[in-house]
Chain A
């Protein structure tokens, strides 16, 4: 009898120890996103917030790199947070909002419409960066199921050690340093860069299509074409239709093909809108002023129609560049793809004025609980500016961010 009890205890202890060791090893091998790809920490950072936010911004990099919540606080006393991730798809934005509603109910949600053009999961890496940091719930399960690419398995999300076990031979000092607590990388979800790479010095984007923005011409087949920059790489497959997708695998997207947003994307656009309505949240659609990918007139028409149909405010920042004083020679750190702090603050100034004057989003400056919290946030923000400036002075570029 004693022998049997001993055996049972040994077995139970062994199992518990095995589970604990697995969890410990899992924690060791999951990416820490400290040096590379800090976006991987964005989702989880939200849960460290101790005060609520009147405005929630959701979307992809056009949101988290083009709007500055700390500026919104400093200028208008607006409390806001960006729940965005690299190439965050509209269904992921929907689930981010659902997740957020478990903790707070913002007065307004700002959604960047760029993601509407994506109708299916894109890359596993982006899914992991967006979803691994989400706290476990039915919402997270739904988000994973909606997001998985071909070949991905749900079990790999439930037990990340199955996905990342190969990192056991690639561990670095960040895996030890940030084992217990992740590195803080964002400012209320805002990825800040202060460096400058003018669009004229970069090969990733250009402003030529902006000059013809809104002008379309029809060809003989009654198609709408937007002005397109010169493209000297002609791939024969760009015109060949294959069974899997009507769009070529390696498209050279320089011509407006009149692409319609997919039913799947619009289904989640409806869900997002309805979720806001049910929670008495004002939904504001925006198109951030990133220079690439090109925002075609056909996309614009569809967003215009949708916002008109449902009485939604839609702010297309391309239409206000002169007013906002965006200068793609000084306000971008990557050749026009995303704003640097200078550009993000200009965008935030414009957006903040609308939020404060037209949506009545209140000024919380002077309220002790917010003042204390934002004093700390501003210190982190200013320290980051200083650190980036020091790197620019020393190395000529930002390295650690």
Chain B
């Protein structure tokens, strides 16, 4: 009886451990990822894209490509101010953020950097970093922020997956 109780307790502990350690990919992504906010909607790499797609409205253009597995699509939405890249794991399943490219100075990073910002403000917000051909890459969790500087000014910004 005692042995049975011990075994049952072990199984219970095992199941509880599986439940307790459960962290969905989007939650993990949320806590360790650069965030992008557009019209009060905040998204992050590998996080759901639905709210941003809804808030951004009709894109100027959209492209869809399929991944090798029969399910899942990659989509590119072009808006006036940014390009949004998403992926889905099933053909018509929810879309997740795969990347964001800034196109105008009307959008900025959460830290306030936008196209046209000074290099010194980038250093102030993100710290000193060695560049590669004018591109500074900052990593946070599962995301990267890449900023291209020319003549001490930001000319291109994007978020991509790490």
* A binding-site residues for B, Cβ under 8 Å: 10, 13-14, 17-18, 21-22, 25, 29, 36-37, 39, 60-61, 65, 86-87, 125-126, 129, 150, 161, 165-166, 168-169, 191, 193, 203-204, 232-233, 235-237, 240-244, 249-250, 252, 292-293, 334, 337-338
Bound CA–CA A286/B2 (angstroms): 64
Contact between A168 and B18 (Cβ–Cβ < 8 Å)? Answer: yes
Supposing A10-B6, A18-B10, A165-B22 touch, asked if A39 and B15 sit within 8 A by C-beta, the answer is: no
Supposing A168-B19, A250-B99 touch, asked if A87 and B156 sit within 8 A by C-beta, the answer is: no
Whose C-beta in chain A lies nearest to the C-beta of B142? A151
| In the complex, chain B residues whose CB is within 8 Å of the CB of A86 | 67-70
Bound CA–CA A14/B4 (angstroms): 9
Supposing A21-B11, A165-B21 touch, asked if A10 and B67 sit within 8 A by C-beta, the answer is: no
Query: Which stretch from B36-44, B47-55, B120-128, B130-138 is at the chain A interface?
Result: B130-138
B145: shortest Cβ distance to chain A, in Å?
12
Whose C-beta in chain A lies nearest to the C-beta of B93? A36
Contact between B68 and A60 (Cβ–Cβ < 8 Å)? Answer: yes
B129: shortest Cβ distance to chain A, in Å?
11
Supposing A292-B66, A334-B66 touch, asked if A14 and B3 sit within 8 A by C-beta, the answer is: yes
B87: shortest Cβ distance to chain A, in Å?
9
* Cross-chain contact of B71 among A17, A37, A235, A293 (Cβ < 8 A): A37
User: Number of B residues contacting the other chain (C-beta, 8 Å)?
Assistant: 47
Question: How many A-B contacts at CB < 8 Å in the complex?
Answer: 124
* B binding-site residues for A, Cβ under 8 Å: 2-3, 6-7, 10-11, 14-15, 17-19, 21-24, 61, 63-71, 73, 76, 78, 83, 85, 89-90, 98-99, 101, 103, 132-133, 135, 137, 146, 148, 156, 158, 160-162
Contact between B70 and A166 (Cβ–Cβ < 8 Å)? Answer: no
Contact between A204 and B10 (Cβ–Cβ < 8 Å)? Answer: no
Contact between A237 and B64 (Cβ–Cβ < 8 Å)? Answer: no
| In the complex, chain A residues whose CB is within 8 Å of the CB of B65 | 204, 292-293
Bound CA–CA A18/B17 (angstroms): 13
Contact between B156 and A236 (Cβ–Cβ < 8 Å)? Answer: yes
Bound CA–CA A165/B76 (angstroms): 33
Contact between A237 and B158 (Cβ–Cβ < 8 Å)? Answer: yes
Whose C-beta in chain B lies nearest to the C-beta of A38? B70
Instruction: Identify 10 new A-B residue pairs, CB closer than 8 A, beyond the known A250-B85, A292-B66.
Output: A10-B6, A13-B3, A17-B7, A21-B11, A61-B70, A86-B69, A161-B18, A241-B132, A243-B132, A250-B160
Q: Is the interface of A mostly helix, strand, loop or mixed?
A: loop
Contact between A87 and B68 (Cβ–Cβ < 8 Å)? Answer: yes
A225: shortest Cβ distance to chain B, in Å?
20
Contact between A168 and B22 (Cβ–Cβ < 8 Å)? Answer: yes
| In the complex, chain B residues whose CB is within 8 Å of the CB of A129 | 69
Contact between B135 and A233 (Cβ–Cβ < 8 Å)? Answer: no
Contact between A14 and B76 (Cβ–Cβ < 8 Å)? Answer: no
Supposing A13-B3, A14-B7, A243-B132 touch, asked if A87 and B67 sit within 8 A by C-beta, the answer is: yes
Bound CA–CA A86/B70 (angstroms): 8
B13: shortest Cβ distance to chain A, in Å?
9
